[in-house]
Amino acid sequence: MSIGHVLLGLLSERPKHGYELKKEHDQRLPGAKPLAYGQVYATLQRLERDGFTEVTGTAQEGGPERTVHAITEAGRTELDRWLAEIEAPAPYVASPLFARVVVATLAGGTAEEYLLRQRAAHLTRMRELTARKASGSPAQVLAADYALQHLDADLRWIETALERHTVLKGETDA
Amino acid sequence: MITVVRMLARGRSRRERARGRLMAAGAAFATVLLCAAAHLTALRLDARRGALGVLTEKEPRLMVALTLALLAVPAAAFIYQVSRLATATRERRLAALRLAGATPREVRLTGAAESGWSALAGGSLGAAAYLLAALVARWSLGDVVPVRPLLWTPVVLAAVVLGGALSGLRAGRHVVASPLGVVRRARPRGPRARDLALVALGVALLAAALTGKGRFFLGGKYGAVVAIAAGAVLLLFGLVLATALLIRMAARRAGRGTSAPETLLAARMVEADPRAWARALSVVGLTVFFGSAVGAQQALTVFQSDLTAFQVASYALLYLALLTAMVTSAGALVAHQAEALLDHRRSFTVLAASGVPVPALGRVLTRQALVAALPVCVVSAVAGAGVVVLLLAELYARRPGALAVSVAGAAAMAGIGVLAAVLVARAARPILRRWVRPEELRTG
Amino acid sequence: MLEARTLRKSFGRTTALDGASVEIGEGEVVAVTGPSGSGKSTLLHCLAGIIRPEAGEVLFAGRRLDTLDEDARTRLRRENFGVVFQFGELVPELTAEENVVLPLLFGGRGRRESLQAARSWLERLDVADCAGQRPAELSGGQLQRVAVARALAAEPRVIFADEPTGALDSLAGERVMGELVGAARESRATLVVVTHDNRVAAYADREIALRDGRVVAGATAATGGTAAGTPGEAAAGGVSR
Ligand SMILES: Nc1ncnc2c1ncn2[C@@H]1O[C@H](COP(=O)(O)OP(=O)(O)OP(=O)(O)O)[C@@H](O)[C@H]1O
Ligand SMILES: [Mg+2]
């Protein structure tokens, strides 16, 4: 996912300044990693360089003076193009979870203990998310759903791995 | 096809085999009855012999033969009921057969073959027993008992086997309809206007013939007799067909507004399948009908001081026949009860598991019987006594006490009918207790 | 509140429970998880007094439950337990509403009061539209929600639910779980949910993990819940197999 595209999306509502963008990003995408201000600033510079945004002036509401950015025609075209694209299904298994299990078996140790601990940690996190869902804003509920389903996928993989592990161990023991 | 039947026969449980034997017993009984009726009509004897006159005189003997033949009706109903019972347990197996790709025709034929086989076994037994009895009679009574009517025995046997096979064919009907139908039952079929039209037609014929005072606008005197007979028969059939409708209505009334859970459940269960109850109760209803009619007719003569031995014997014989009919229809009721238990076993088990005491479930059974049997017996009794009272209105007018006697007789017959149904339901309680064990709830 | 000690139960040659022990406190929400055939439903039915274990003890509020006779257990079930069965198990001859009303009537409540309670529960579970329909005319998901309504309507002290979301899509499942947990918390009732969906298990305070008829994790409140994350317990669970 590109932060640039998210910022373009936020700007498509109306021109905003950098601090506003950071605040809105964190609020509208709860559960995503919060943006650092430096990151916002750097991305805005890149967008302006590519002609997707332009500076339309400055604003001052009591605090320091802030530059206001607006989306350009080219920016809107780019945003539409990005929205029309689909996310490519992940071609590689790039989970540290998976790596740990493989490495554990390579090293001749048992992945089982690790898997059980990981399973408990995952479930605890799921419990927290489920509890939070009961009293969250719609965006927070959506974010929790997203996280829950991914954690669930991990969990199911862990359970299958545990089953297979038992079977594999049984085979070597026999 | 034959392989499939053989496969199914091998897979039959002990209970199913017991059911096959019951059906065979019914077939044997029917065969004996029909053979005896046929034989009686051919006796070469016509003499007055007091109480024995019912057998030795020609015309009373014909009545006895007719009664015996009529008794085959409850026996047939019993066979049908038992073959339905066999179907209830076979359903799953047959439905699986359907899912496995058997055509509806093949499934029907399988059912027909199974019940036809039982009928053949039972019928042969009955025929053999009858032949033996007839030969003994011939040997002791000589020429009075002709041998030729024995040739009819194979014909009777064939009819019984055919009947058995047909009942199996019909009983498999709803499995045939859809392999999934067993799991998901459709809404009960709505009442049919045709059923009521028959009743109306019968009543109209009777009324027309009776208001004509022995004369009819067609055929004069004979026309009236024919019209009365036809009207009675139509009324009878109409009543049987309308029984389902009547039961459904009574059940709906009983279920509405009740705050007793047993009654609610019983009423809804009857309402969901009034046809099953109608089938089981139609024979009871017929018995009550005839019983009330006989009672009403005898109400005119029973207080005469000059009752002859012949009359006493014929009355006793009539009541014996009624008793036999009642017992046979009670057999049909038992078979129906077993079928209903099989049908509702799962529901009852789940209810028991969620805290409904088994005695309460027992009450559900008796209330089902009450809800279904009460309207049927009352209507049958009123119709039976009513027909006779209307027919013999003039005689009744001359004998003031007779009406009260016939009403009492009809009430007693209705009471006996309801009592039979309720007793059968009560008798099922121990079975219920044994069957409805929460432990047996398959946890899936 | 509810306790099972070394339960054993077998069906013919298959052993469904093989020394399972659990302890569940009042007002607790627990999930029973495990692979198919691990004995979850059997454990649930033992705890609910529906079936009797061959060995071991079941205690409810300090009273032995497995030694009571059938009548006493039936009364106990009716007064204290609400059960949602794995396959719904409604009475096919009754409408959805009547299915919910029936246990209330058997519990000795009046007709009007029972009807009112039934309607409000059907509404809460979003199946009020089906009130007049018979089970054969309902979808699997609707059946399950009516079954949940039936179990909750009597306001039991313990709610047992066997895969209550098995036939539901995730949103409907969420709603049913929300109502189950909500109803339990509201009346401080205990809720025992059998599931093999982790997202359903996440509604619970604690997970009781079953494997081959034995409890491998979360047998008591101290070892379950967040504490299940401690390596020692998890490892112990793994080794004890
Ligand atoms: N009534 C019964 N008769 C025979 N065997 C049974 C019965 N009930 C359960 N079993 C067996 O006991 C074992 C455990 O069954 P149980 O239903 O408790 O499993 P479960 O964990 O609920 O599985 P699932 O997730 O598939 O529902 C299984 O092997 C099952 O075949
Ligand atoms: Mg189960």
Q: Does C50 touch chain B (CB under 8 A)?
A: yes
In this predicted structure, the answer to whether residue B281 has a pLDDT above a threshold of 50 is yes
The full set of domain ranges for chain B reads 2-177, 195-443
Average pLDDT over residues A99-115: 74
Average pLDDT over residues B125-131: 91
Calculate how far, in angstroms, residue C24's C-alpha sits from the geometric centre of ligand 1. Answer: 22
Concatenated DSSP letters of C51-118: S--SEEEEEETTEESTTS-HHHHHHHHHHHEEEEBTTB---TTS-HHHHHHHHHHHTT--HHHHHHHH
Average pLDDT over residues C206-212: 89
Angle between helices B309-353 and B400-427 (to 10 degrees): 40
The confidence score (pLDDT) of residue B97 equals: 64
Q: Rounded mean pLDDT of chain B?
A: 78
Distance between CA atoms of residues B310 and B59, nearest Å = 13
User: Is the distance from CB of B381 to CB of B289 less than 8 angstroms?
Assistant: yes
Q: Are strands C29-33 and C206-211 parallel, antiparallel or unpaired?
A: parallel
The confidence score (pLDDT) of residue B233 equals: 67
For C32, the enclosing helix (H) or strand (E) is strand C29-33
The confidence score (pLDDT) of residue C233 equals: 36
The confidence score (pLDDT) of residue B229 equals: 65
Name every chain C residue with its beta carbon within 8 A of the beta carbon of A154: none
Mutate to test the pocket of ligand 1, among C11, C208, C216 (most ligand atoms within 8 A of CB): C11
Whose alpha carbon is nearest atom 5 of ligand 1?
C11
**Furthest C-alpha separation in chain A:** 76
Enumerate residues 6+ apart whose C-beta is below 8 A from B39: B134, B145, B149, B150, B152
Distance between CA atoms of residues B277 and B367, nearest Å = 13
Q: Which residue has the higher pLDDT, C118 or A112?
A: C118
In this predicted structure, the answer to whether residue C117 has a pLDDT above a threshold of 90 is yes
How many of the other CB atoms lie within 10 Å of CB of B341? Answer: 18
- Cβ burial of B429 (10 Å; 0-12, 13-18, 19+) is middle
The full set of domain ranges for chain A reads 3-84, 96-173
Report pLDDT digits (tens) over C167-185.
788 888 888 898 899 888 8
Distance between CA atoms of residues A20 and A30, nearest Å = 16
Task: Please answer yes or no on whether A116 and C203 come within 8 Å at the CB atom.
Answer: no
B306 φ, ψ (degrees, to nearest 5): -100, 45
For residue B157, give the amino acid letter: L
For B436, the enclosing helix (H) or strand (E) is none
Distance between CA atoms of residues B5 and B12, nearest Å = 11
Q: Where are the alpha helices (DSSP H) in chain C?
A: 40-47, 70-80, 96-106, 111-124, 140-153, 170-186, 198-201, 231-239
For residue B118, give the amino acid letter: S
Task: Please answer yes or no on whether B356 and C50 come within 8 Å at the CB atom.
Answer: no
Q: Which residue of A has its CA nearest to C182?
A: A134
In this predicted structure, the answer to whether residue A172 has a pLDDT above a threshold of 60 is no
For residue B414, give the amino acid letter: A
Question: Which of the residues C176, C186, C199, C211 would you substitute to probe the A interface, choosing the one with the greatest number of A C-beta atoms within 10 Å?
Answer: C199
User: Is the distance from CB of B371 to CB of B266 less than 8 angstroms?
Assistant: yes
How many of the other CB atoms lie within 10 Å of CB of A36? Answer: 10
Whose alpha carbon is nearest atom 2 of ligand 1?
B442
- Cβ burial of A164 (10 Å; 0-12, 13-18, 19+) is exposed
User: Is the distance from CB of B234 to CB of B202 less than 8 angstroms?
Assistant: yes
Cα C106 → chain centroid: 20
Report pLDDT digits (tens) over B207-247.
777 676 555 666 555 666 677 667 766 766 676 678 888 89
Concatenated DSSP letters of B248-278: HHHHHHHHTT---HHHHHHHHHHHH-HHHHH
Please tell me which of B124-128, B197-201, B219-223 the model is most confident about, judged by mean pLDDT: B124-128
The confidence score (pLDDT) of residue B174 equals: 59
Mutate to test the pocket of ligand 1, among C7, C33, C38 (most ligand atoms within 8 A of CB): C38
Report pLDDT digits (tens) over B360-417.
999 999 999 999 999 999 998 998 898 888 888 888 888 878 888 889 989 999 999 9
Name every chain B residue with its beta carbon within 8 A of the beta carbon of C162: 443
Average pLDDT over residues B250-279: 88
CA of A125, closest CA in chain C: separation in Å?
9
Distance between CA atoms of residues B414 and B377, nearest Å = 5
User: Is the distance from CB of B368 to CB of B248 less than 8 angstroms?
Assistant: no
The confidence score (pLDDT) of residue C146 equals: 92
**A93 φ/ψ sector (left φ>0, alpha ψ -120 to 50, else beta):** beta
Task: Please answer yes or no on whether A121 and C237 come within 8 Å at the CB atom.
Answer: no
The confidence score (pLDDT) of residue B182 equals: 45
Q: Where are the alpha helices (DSSP H) in A65-173?
A: 73-84, 96-106, 111-133, 138-173
The confidence score (pLDDT) of residue C172 equals: 84
Beta bridge partner(s), residue C22: C4
In this predicted structure, the answer to whether residue B268 has a pLDDT above a threshold of 50 is yes
Distance between CA atoms of residues C156 and A113, nearest Å = 39
The full set of domain ranges for chain C reads 2-222
Distance between CA atoms of residues B432 and B262, nearest Å = 15
- Cβ burial of A57 (10 Å; 0-12, 13-18, 19+) is exposed
User: Is the distance from CB of C29 to CB of C62 less than 8 angstroms?
Assistant: no
Beta bridge partner(s), residue C217: C209
Beta bridge partner(s), residue C7: C20
For A58, the enclosing helix (H) or strand (E) is strand A53-59
The confidence score (pLDDT) of residue B295 equals: 85
Tokens of A4: 């640039």
Which subunits count as partners of chain B given 3+ CB pairs below 8 Å? Answer: C
- Percentage of residues in chain A having pLDDT higher than 70: 87
Tokens of B280: 């089981």
Cα A62 → chain centroid: 34
| DSSP code, position B50 | G
Distance between CA atoms of residues C39 and C18, nearest Å = 9
ipTM above 0.95, yes or no: no
Domain A3-84 has CATH 2.130.10.10: no
CA of C208, closest CA in chain A: separation in Å?
12
Q: Is the dihedral of CA B303, B309, B312, B315 positive or negative?
A: negative
Name every chain A residue with its beta carbon within 8 A of the beta carbon of C226: 124
In this predicted structure, the answer to whether residue C228 has a pLDDT above a threshold of 70 is no
The size of chain B, in residues, is 444
Report pLDDT digits (tens) over B318-370.
888 888 888 888 888 888 888 788 778 888 888 888 888 889 999 999 999 99
Distance between CA atoms of residues C86 and C41, nearest Å = 8
User: Is the distance from CB of C150 to CB of C106 less than 8 angstroms?
Assistant: no
The confidence score (pLDDT) of residue B382 equals: 92
The confidence score (pLDDT) of residue B261 equals: 92
* Residue C159 binned pLDDT confidence (cut-offs 50, 70, 90): very high
Name every chain C residue with its beta carbon within 8 A of the beta carbon of A165: none
Which residues line the pocket of ligand 1, CB cutoff 6 A?
B 442-444; C 11, 14, 16, 34, 36-42, 196
Please tell me which of A23-27, A72-76, B140-144, C68-72 the model is most confident about, judged by mean pLDDT: A72-76
Distance between CA atoms of residues C42 and C46, nearest Å = 6
Distance between CA atoms of residues B279 and B254, nearest Å = 20
Question: Rg of the Cα trace of chain B?
Answer: 24
Angle between helices B274-298 and B309-353 (to 10 degrees): 160
| DSSP code, position C210 | E
In this predicted structure, the answer to whether residue B421 has a pLDDT above a threshold of 80 is yes
Name the nearest CA neighbour of C21 among C45, C37, C43, C41: C43
Distance between CA atoms of residues B78 and B333, nearest Å = 8
Distance between CA atoms of residues C198 and A151, nearest Å = 9
Which subunits count as partners of chain A given 3+ CB pairs below 8 Å? Answer: C
- CATH code linked to domain C2-222: 3.40.50.300
Cα C93 → chain centroid: 24
Q: Which residue has the higher pLDDT, C114 or B170?
A: C114
Task: Please answer yes or no on whether A112 and C229 come within 8 Å at the CB atom.
Answer: no
Name every chain C residue with its beta carbon within 8 A of the beta carbon of A149: 199
How many of the other CB atoms lie within 10 Å of CB of C132? Answer: 10
How many of the other CB atoms lie within 10 Å of CB of B263? Answer: 20
In this predicted structure, the answer to whether residue C62 has a pLDDT above a threshold of 80 is yes
Report pLDDT digits (tens) over A69-100.
999 999 999 988 888 887 777 666 667 788 87
